[in-house]
Amino acid sequence: MLAVTVNVKDRLLEIRDVDRKGKGNVLLKTLRNGICGTDREIANFKFKYTQPEEGEYLILGHEALAKVISVKDEGLFKENDIVMPINRRGCGKCLNCILGRPDFCDTGLFRETGIRGLDGFMREFFYDDAEYLVKVFPGIEDIAILAQPLSDLEKSVEVILKIQERLNWRCWDSTYSCRKALIGGTGPIGILTSLLLKTMGFDVTMMNKREINEVEEEIVKETGINYYDNTKGLGSLEGGFDIYFDTTGYIPLILDAIRLSKRNSIIALFGFPSTDIKGDFNSDLLFNIIDKQIAIVGLENGQKPHFERALVHLATWKSIWPKTMAKLITRKVKIEDFEEVKKAIKEKGKDEIKVTIEWG
Ligand code: BGC
Ligand code: ZN
Ligand code: ZN
């Protein structure tokens, strides 16, 4: 069977025949994979945590839509169900993992499909256990692949709200309409975070270091999210912000955000730094964090409840923001087009949002 593999010893990205289907009670056929920034980092041998399950190669992929082919014990799933597998698996030792929250694994011995220690979903078939599968309801198969990255963000926003419960954070009308969220980066993560915070009533601005492009213009028009070009820094953003959500990993921008964010704000860090860039953390910034009581939090990985919530949000957005939702998957490549697939995994194209691999 075909699979997309990364050979960590010879530093090769390949599409080839493998006989690794993994373990589990449910046999699945892959319908579609999403390509994410992490896949790109892994395929370019820049990701710090890449680890094969066995031997020298790792089967790539942590975003998948799949069809149930057969089930050993009938119960949760049946043949032909459309499902999504969750991507992080617990260490089996710590309490958080045992209670189904390996996103907060205490030992750090969790594994992630297609990333660290477990083969991923960019293969024709795989076995998995029912407990790691989430059912996709009808009507959203076209965009359901976005539920994996969105699950990370559902978890992130849940954490942000929990942290901000440290103060009276709701507005006079008990909503979040007076709270400003600034999102750094307009890739899939930046856009999905903006949509999510907008749904929750925040005043949302997404930003990039360039002029707004056509798709972003449409998103702004349809959803009421604002766009800010930060070529000249954050200085001319009026009124500051209560959340800065970073998807860029660009340290100078993050430090600027700390400097300009409002009192009692939260700096949410999601994007890994992709280059070895340094920034100037100094006493002035430390004064800023302490005196303004800024909370800074690192965010990673969503779990089953977050996948479920993500699917519901996608269905909602498809009905309230149809034009936006039709624009997020910018390209589909067929698995048979080996060179195209490899290129799509290695490099991000211009104005690309989400690219998928189609298994037919
Ligand atoms: C995945 C997360 C994962 C993270 C770190 C992201 O691309 O979507 O679920 O936890 O990478 O490995
Ligand atoms: Zn990802
Ligand atoms: Zn654990």
Over range 63-70, report the average pLDDT: 98
Residue 316, pLDDT score: 98
pLDDT tens-digit profile of 68-106?
999 998 788 999 999 999 999 999 999 999 999 999 999
Over range 317-339, report the average pLDDT: 98
Surrounding ion ligand 3 within 5 Å at CB are: 91, 94, 97, 105, 107
Q: Which CATH number fits domain 2-143+329-358: 3.40.50.150, 3.90.180.10, 3.10.20.30, 1.10.10.10?
A: 3.90.180.10
Q: Which residue of 33, 115, 274 sits with most ligand 1 atoms within 8 Å of its CB, as the best mutation to test the pocket?
A: 115
- Looking at the CA of residue 103, tell me the nearest atom of ligand 1: 10
Tell me the fold of 151-298: Rossmann fold (3.40.50)
CA gap 236, 163 in Å, rounded: 28
Residue 279, pLDDT score: 82
The secondary structure of 297-354, three-state, reads: EECCCCCHHHHHHHHHHHHHHHHHCHHHHHHCEEEEEECCCHHHHHHHHHCCCCCCCE
CB 279 within 8 A of CB 259: no
Expressed in angstroms and rounded, the spacing between residue 187 Cα and the centre of ligand 2 is 12
What DSSP designation does 262 have? P
Q: Where are the beta strands (DSSP E) in 175-325?
A: 180-184, 203-208, 226-229, 243-246, 266-269, 295-298
Give the residue, by CA position, lying nearest to ligand 1 atom 2. 301
Expressed in angstroms and rounded, the spacing between residue 163 Cα and the centre of ligand 3 is 22
Residue 358, pLDDT score: 98
Query: Domain locations in the chain?
Result: 2-143+329-358, 151-298
